[in-house]
Every structure is written in structure tokens, then in C-alpha cells.
Chains A and B, each alone.
Chain A
Amino acid sequence: MNYELPLSVEEVENYFKEKLEDDVNDFKTEEIKKGLKETGIELIWFTVKRERFRDAVKALAELQTPHLSVASGSDMGENIELIYHFQINYGYPGKEISINMKVHLPKEDLNIPSITDIVPGALTTEREKQEFLGVNVTNIPDSRRLWLEDDFPKDKYPWRWDHEGMEEMSKYVHSEDDETFDKPIAKYPRKKEIEKKKNRQDTMEEEKKKEDGEPDE
């Protein structure tokens, strides 16, 4: 099948399915209507297997010089999720589609291949992911730190929620219970915070039940 720009969301979906078959899944397409004329914003999300990630970017590069907005990443507990936010169809008014490629990396093996040979502009964001999430970008041309100070601990990563995160480092800086600080910077520990919310919801539910259960007088 021939793919000519500008592509529609369905075409983008089919294109990746054709090129990568079973290695791409969890497709989700969105269209948000905006304004009086109801012009739409179109987005597409999908997950790609790490082994085929480079192939996916190469496939994208065959359509148009890829515009990588940024790669965002977060700690999901057992794995780390990286989302590469690409844009396609730029230069066609109102037709641009955001392609969000998700890659899941298990915590035991945090390697992801570099895409700087396909998208030279990706270097900044790859270096950032290395220092903030502890991901190892293989074959990266420049693996130095970009944002963090040289004296920042080598085994701590600010966006991680586990023992490699900043919990130990920052919990004594502004304690939640210390009233001398007017506003705590970090509400730690995270587990405590989750418990707190759960407790609050439970009590709210109990109160609701009580209210509902009370007979009318």
C-alpha cells in the first residue's frame, strides 16, 4: 500500500501494523475537537517492543523527517515507561498527528538503543533520560551528564520512586510534619502518601454509608 502525506490516523495505525506486525500493540487513537469550527487534534498512542523500537523509528523516518518533540519517562513500579513523542504531517495545516511511542523497560534490564543516527536531535533528550531515570541508552554518542551537577550522587535518579530515587536524600530537607516550614517541598514517603489517600477515601465511604444507612426521622 502506498502512503502519501498527509496521512490520516487510520493510515498511520495501519502503516505501523504492516511494518512491525505483532511487535506493536495497544493502539489508542484520539481526536479532540476544538474551537467554534471544531478543528480536531489527532493523537495516536501505541506500545512497541524494545527490540523493534529502532525499526519503528526507521519506519517513521521513511515517511517524513521525524520531528521528536521529547521523550518523557516515568517509573511505573516494576518497569520504566518511556514515551517518545513524535509529530508527523507537519507543514500540512491542521493535519499534524502526534505519534506517541511507548517502550517498557523492565527494571532488571534498563537498556534502550539510541536513535541519534536516525534522529540527530534526540541526543539532548536521551542524555536527560540517562541521568533522571537511570536508563542506559546503548550506542549513545555522548553519555555525559547534561543537567545534573557533577557532585550529584551517581546512583540516584530524581524521577524514580524506588530506592534509587530521591526519597532518602530529600525527606529530611522539608519534613511534612515540621511546622517550621510553611510548605513542604516533598511529601515523603510516597507509600505514606498513598496510604493516607486510601484512608481518607475509606473514611469518606464509611461516612457516606452511615449517612445513607441512617433512617429518616
Chain B
Amino acid sequence: MSREKDTTYEVPIGPIHPALKEPFLIKFKLKGEEIVDAEPFPGMNHRGIEFMGMHRNPMEVIPLSERICGICSIVHQHMFTTATEHALSIEPTNRARYIRTIMCELERIHSHILWAGVAAHEIGFDTHLHFTWKIREKVMDLLEYIAGNRVNYSMWTFGGVRRDITEEMYPKIFETLEYYENLYEKLEEIFLEDPSIKLRTRGVGVLTKKDALELCGVGPTVRASGVKKDVRIDQPYAAYGDLDLDYVIPSRYGFENKGDVFCKTVVRLKELLQSVDIIKKCVEQMPEGEITSEPKKAALLNKLGKSAGEGIGRIEAPRGEAIHYVRLSEERDDVDCWKIRASTYNNLSTYAPMFMGEQIADIPLIAASIDPCIGCMDRAEIIDINRGEVQSYTKEELHELSVKKTKQITKGGVE
């Protein structure tokens, strides 16, 4: 009897995870199929970017900050730039604010579509994965058209942006937005109406509103639980204050605020549409004027070297609120203190309540639901503490298990 009582298994999953700021490992405690505890172990790829930044001058840190994340490179660039602007009381021009907003929203579109594809892949719908990644190319092309780069855009500078969005770019922007508007119904049909996807996502990985608030969760992860937190609305940065936005929570669209994977999908898909609207409004309302208030680089560098101060940059990244704290001192040229906090940092603690009571086959889906991009989950080990045996699961095997569950649920109807 006592043996039965003590039979808990430990399943570490990870640590390779390049889509995050850090690849990480999650250790699961299992009782049979049921997860009784989950603990994340980040830090496998801590590159010490904050330390590096504290040994460079602010101008050099801008390109460094972009490289924190491969998907939301705009986010970190924006936060570092606005934090420094706050510290030095530099005012970006109004036109730059609009261009920044457009770029942020374009990035949100591509990040959310990418997430939808990964989530579909984890359930076993590879057709959807290829479909979403195909349509994601369109926004990547637009980003490349505007910024010249597909991933690290190098658009931001203190006081504004480095590239303008001119009128001759408008047709291409509107064409892309129209493309997504037309596709939206199809996406909704795939992710919200498909019975097999509903079976796998409804009631799975539930985060209650209480947990979401107490654990300081951010972004679509907590909005799915009905928590109204969105920096774009709460504390509007860039040009968001000019636009009338409303919180995207499932109850606004006739769903319950359950906080499960399904609700997270609803929030992300609806945000896609919201982003399209925001970009449209921004392009229409864009004021004339300079794109940067500090066009002279030498004067700017001089100013950066001489001034001291501290500032905060906050943003609603595709994955939720993120924040940078920057302090500049008079005695050094370099940034004196730089604290980066990405969205997943806060959402890590929401893993434990979300995994509780779920099954091994749901691990990939729930882990992906906070959007840390589980795409490179490498391997998992199952250790039977009582017997001392080590059983290994590769990423493929675990994925296979997840696909098998979908097939079981739908009685072999999915392929």
C-alpha cells in the first residue's frame, strides 16, 4: 500500500527552447497519467544581455536590445528606447509614434499567427501549421518592405524612428491587411469551430482569475481568464492613446472567461483582427512631420554622455506586458543599470496551476498556450523514483503521444 502511495514520477522536459529569451526545462511530478506538480527551470541560455548592456553606451545598446528575442525584437527595442527617452526627457515626434504603433501591431500579427500554427502542430494538425505559416509570410514580406529586414528591423532611434512609412507604401499595407481580413473567417473556422480542436483545447490548462491576478500573469494568458490587463489601454504608449481600444477578453465575444487553452486561442485570434483595425486607423490618421526629433547623431551622443536619469519603458508585447528599467549616470558613458523583463518571465509562475491535474499528452499544448514557443522542446525523461529506472521520451515521442490523444478523442477521424 505504502508503495502505491509514494509512486510519483518526475518528468523533466526541456531544456532546449530557442524561441524564448531562454530555453528552459520543466520538471513534472506525475501520479500515473496525472500531473501533480510542475516546476519550470529557466536559465539554460542566459546570455547576460543586461550585463553586456551595462558596458555599452545607449546608442550601442539599441541593436543589442533587438537581439533579445527573435520574434518580438521590436518590443525590446521600443522599451529600451522609450525608457532612455524617459530618462533624458526626449520627446519622440508624433509621426514617429504612429510608425512605431504600426510596426508593433505588424509584429503582433506575425507572432499570433506563428503561435496558432505551433498550437495546431502540438495537437497534431500539421496541415494547419503549414497553412498558418504560409499566411504569416505575407506580413513578414510587409515588414521587410517597410524596414528592409525580415527579423531584426533596426527601426528605432532615440526621438523617433529611422525609416519613414511613405504614401507609396500604403497600397501594399492595405493589400496585406485586406488579405488577413478575408482570411480571418477561415482561421476562426479552423481554430474555434473545429470539433477535434475544441475537444483538445476546451477545459484544458485552466488558469483561474484568482491565480492569474495573484501570480502577476500578463497578456493573452490572463486576458483569457477575464483579467483586464493591457498596457495599450491601461497606460497608452506610442499612439495608442489616440485610438479607442477595448480589452480583448472572451466574454466580449460570447464565450466564457474560462482561462483554458480555447479561451487563449479566442483572445489571440480576436487580437489579430484588432491589430488590423489599429494599423488601418494609424495609417489613416498619421500626422505629417519629422520622423525623429534628434536627427543629429553627434549631438545626440553628446547629450547621452552628459545626462543622467532613470526611466521606464513599458509595452504590451504579443505575449503580454514587458518592462525595461534604464538608469544613466553622469560619471560613465555607458548604461549604468538595465533591467529587462520579458512577458514570459511573469507567465512562468502560471505554469504550475495550469498543469495541475492534466495528462502527459497535454503537456505540449499547455506549455505552448502561454506562447513560449514549445517548437524546440527537445527531450523528456521519466524517472521512476521507486525503481530507479530512467525512461526517456524524445520530443517526437511526446508529440506522438499528443497526436495519439487527438486521434483517440476523435476516434481516428483526424489525419
User: Do A and B come from the same complex?
Assistant: yes
Chain A residues engaging chain B, CB cutoff 8 angstroms: 32, 34-39, 41-43, 65-70, 72-74, 83, 85, 87, 89-96, 98, 100, 119-125, 145-149, 158-159, 166, 185-188, 190, 193-194, 197-198
Choose one: B214, B245, B312, B333; the contact of A100 (CB below 8 Å): B312
- Contact indicator B337/A158 (Cβ below 8 Å): no
Interface residue from A90, A124, A158, A197 paired with B228 (Cβ < 8 Å): A90
Decide: B349 and A120 in contact? CB cutoff 8 A.
yes
B196 CB to nearest chain A CB (Å): 34
Determine the distance from Cα of A120 to Cα of B98 in the docked complex, in whole angstroms: 37
Q: Cβ of A147 and Cβ of B46 under 8 Å apart?
A: yes
**Chain B: minimal CB distance from A34 (Å):** 6
Check: B236 CB closer than 8 A to any chain A CB: yes
- Cβ of B238 under 8 Å from chain A: yes
Q: How far is the CA of A90 from the CA of B325 in the complex (A)?
A: 20
**Per-residue A-contact encoding for B326-365, CB less than 8 Å = 1, 0 else:** 0100011110110101000110110000000000000000
Is A96 touching B327 in the complex (CB atoms < 8 A)?
no
With A91-B228, A121-B216 as given contacts, are A69 and B323 in contact (CB-CB < 8 Å)? yes
* Alpha-carbon distance between A36 and B341 when the two chains are bound, in angstroms: 29
Given contacts A69-B321, A85-B325, contact A194 B236 (CB under 8 A): no
- CB-based contact A120/B215 at 8 Å: yes
With A37-B242, A83-B325, A124-B345 given, is the CB distance from A193 to B332 under 8 Å? yes
A42–B241 alpha-carbon span in the complex (Å): 13
Q: Are B55 and A91 in contact (CB under 8 A)?
A: no
Q: How far is the CA of A124 from the CA of B347 in the complex (A)?
A: 10
Q: Do the beta carbons of B234 and A92 come within 8 Å of each other? A: yes
B50, B54, B86, B214: the one within 8 Å of A120 (CB): B214
From A89, A98, A197, B314 is in contact (CB under 8 Å) with A98
25 contacts between A and B (CB under 8 A): A34-B238, A34-B239, A35-B236, A36-B287, A39-B236, A69-B216, A90-B234, A91-B227, A91-B229, A91-B247, A92-B234, A93-B234, A94-B234, A94-B235, A95-B234, A125-B341, A125-B345, A147-B22, A148-B46, A159-B337, A185-B55, A187-B55, A190-B332, A193-B332, A194-B332
Q: Does B133 contact A (CB under 8 A)?
A: no
Instruction: Contacts A41-B235, A96-B234 known; list 18 others, CB within 8 Å.
Output: A34-B97, A35-B236, A35-B239, A36-B239, A43-B312, A67-B213, A67-B229, A70-B339, A83-B325, A91-B227, A91-B228, A91-B247, A95-B234, A121-B349, A146-B42, A159-B54, A194-B332, A197-B332
Q: Residue B229 contacts which of A39, A85, A90 (CB distance < 8 angstroms)? A: A90
Q: Least Cβ distance of A88 to chain B in Å?
A: 10
Contact B337 A72 (CB under 8 A): yes
How many chain B residues touch the partner (CB < 8 A)?
Answer: 55
Q: Could you say which residues of chain A place their CB within 8 Å of the CB of B348?
A: 124
Report the Cα distance A172→B182, complex, angstroms: 58
Which A residues are in CB contact (< 8 Å) with B287?
A: 36
Cβ–Cβ contact A74 & B323, under 8 A: no
**Chain A residue nearest to B331 in the complex (CB):** A194
Do most interface residues of chain B lie in helix, strand or loop, or is the interface mixed?
Answer: mixed
A34 to B332, CA, bound (A): 30
Measured CB to CB, the closest approach of chain A to B346, in angstroms, equals 6
Asked whether B217 is an interface residue with its Cβ less than 8 Å from the other chain, the reply is: yes
Given contacts A35-B241, A39-B236, A87-B234, contact A98 B312 (CB under 8 A): yes
A72 in contact with B325 (CB, 8 Å) = yes
**How far in angstroms is the closest Cβ of chain A from B298?**
13
Contact between B236 and A34 (Cβ–Cβ < 8 Å)? yes
A43 and B314 alpha carbons, distance in the complex (Å): 12
Cβ of A204 to closest chain B Cβ, rounded Å: 10
Provide the bound-state CA to CA distance between A166 and B50, in Å: 13
CA distance A178 to B46 in the complex (A): 26
B125 at interface by CB-CB < 8 Å: no
Query: Scoring B residues 217 to 246 as 1 if CB is less than 8 Å from chain A, else 0, what string do you get?
Result: 100000000011101011111111110010
- B312 pairs with A37, CB closer than 8 A: no
Determine whether the beta carbon of B43 is less than 8 Å from that of A89. Answer: no
Shortest beta-carbon distance from A78 to chain B in Å: 15
| Chain B window 110-138, contacts with chain A (Cβ cutoff 8 Å), 1 for yes, 0 for no | 00000000000000000000000000000
Beta-carbon contact of B94 and A36 below 8 Å: yes
Q: Cβ of A96 and Cβ of B55 under 8 Å apart?
A: no
- A93–B233 CB distance below 8 A: yes
Query: Roughly how many angstroms separate A66 CA and B241 CA in the complex, as a whole number?
Result: 24
Residue of A nearest to B349 (CB): A121
Q: Counting CB contacts under 8 A, is B48 at the interface? A: yes
B52 within 8 A of A: yes
Q: Is B145 an interface residue (CB 8 A)?
A: no
